[in-house]
Structure 1
Amino acid sequence: MGRRHHFHVDHLGHSVSVTVEAGHSAVVDVLVDGKETARVGIGHERQVALPVELPTDPPTTATVRVAAGPGVPRCLLVPADGGDPLVMAPRAY
């Protein structure tokens, strides 16, 4: 079992959280407003882009980009409307 890293950002009034369990094969969990919307294992490439949908009216799409290493993982929320990527801040659990 690897070390867990947690990231968070608020966007358009909604909470987006990511947990990256680092190790030989990393696992990424994405939650929107506390509900799991994606869970994926990352192989040797150590990077993944996951689509998410924020429950706005109408729904807003974005992409969570995760780089699981080397070193400390990093996460970005990339709005689909072409806005600037939002750095997801690390947070302690």
Structure 2
Amino acid sequence: MSRRHHFHIDHLGHSVSVTVQTGHTSVVEVLVDGKETGHATTKDDRPVTVPIELPTDPPTAVYVRVTSGPGVPRCLLLAAPDGEPHVMAPRLY
């Protein structure tokens, strides 16, 4: 049985949203300011890291780290270059 989970954070003035669809294969979609900028799939409960860029001048590279299980998925925004983790808050849709 698949289920959708949503996460959000504002970082450097930009909106970063993540949708995680769990199931046998987990699908991760990352949106920055409402535009899809990253996508990944993973089997079982393996963590996945999705590289994205924030549209700053110059563009800022960040990473979204998703752990789809066991249990409720968790999502972190890793800011480059130090990789400082920011917990992304779950959103109910």
Q: TM-score over 0.5 for the alignment?
A: yes
- % identical equivalent positions: 67
- Map of 1:86 onto structure 2: 86
TM-score w.r.t. the length of structure 1 is: 0.94
1:51 to partner: Cα distance: 0.5
Structure 2 stretches of 5 or more lacking a match? none
Report the count of equivalent residues.
Answer: 93
**Which structure has more strand as a fraction of its residues?**
2
- Map of 1:8 onto structure 2: 8
- Map of 2:74 onto structure 1: 74
List 4+ stretches of structure 1 deviating above 6 A: none
What amino acid is aligned across from residue 46 of structure 1 in structure 2?
R
Structure 1 stretches of 5 or more lacking a match? none
Q: Which secondary structure does the structure 2 equivalent of 1:49 belong to?
A: strand
CA distance in 2, matches of 1:60, 1:91: 24
